[in-house]
Structure 1
Amino acid sequence: MKKLTPPILEFDFLFLYEVFKLNEEKIMASKVTGGKISSAAGRILGNSGTSALQRSLAGSALAQSGTQKVTGKDMEAKASAALKNPNSAATTKALAGSLVSQSEKQR
């Protein structure tokens, strides 16, 4: 006996898929570098006494500011290491947290 599925189930699936994709795009678009992080990044880049790690994180954060760019794999690894390091400064951890939050969720 062949089981028939109502066509509405197929429509509902496609509709839910489209809704999910739209919501996913909105979530990704909302992950941008905030004003406080951008400001801190600018101050770090303008200060020659900051560490190379801070300057690298700050440059990446500013590059993503106002865009939908995501953090690259290498920068994500640097930021993750900075977050795990108990000796990292609060500003370094703030920049690193911003970058990790903007990385691809599949990684």
Structure 2
Amino acid sequence: MSFNAKQTSSSIASLASAVLLDSKSSALAKELAGSALSQASTTKQTSARMEELASKILGESGHSQTVLSLAGSVLSQANKER
């Protein structure tokens, strides 16, 4: 199995934290934020489910820049073999 050693950057971790603390954030944004934060300062990789969700989001229009940034970060930390 291939390993992706990328971790969530401090700027994305801060963004994810803000999303989780904001009661107005969408469930989708919070899900991506949780995934991104779980990969900060650790070797955890994106799950297949989150990889698929992030990929779908990046292929659609109408999402906020925050959601797109979180999706890009989550997807960049996916297992390279999938």
Say yes or no: TM over 0.5.
yes
Q: What amino acid sits opposite 1:85 in the alignment? A: E
1:81, 1:46 → 2: CA distance?
25
Name the % identity: 43
Gaps of 5+ in 1: 1-23
Distance 2:18 2:59 in 1: 23
Q: CA deviation at 1:85?
A: 1.4
In structure 2, the partner of 1:54 is: 29
Q: TM-score, normalised by structure 2?
A: 0.93
User: Over aligned residue pairs, what C-alpha RMSD do you find?
Assistant: 1.3
User: Displacement, 1:68?
Assistant: 0.7
Task: Kindly report which structure 2 residues correspond to 1:1-107, keeping only aligned pairs within 5 A, or say none.
Answer: 28-29=4-5, 31-107=6-82
Q: CA deviation at 1:87?
A: 0.5
The secondary structure found in structure 1 opposite 2:45 is coil
Matched pairs, number: 81
Between the two structures, name the one with larger relative contact order (CA 8 Å, sep ≥ 6): 2
Structure 1 or 2, whichever has the larger Rg, is: 1
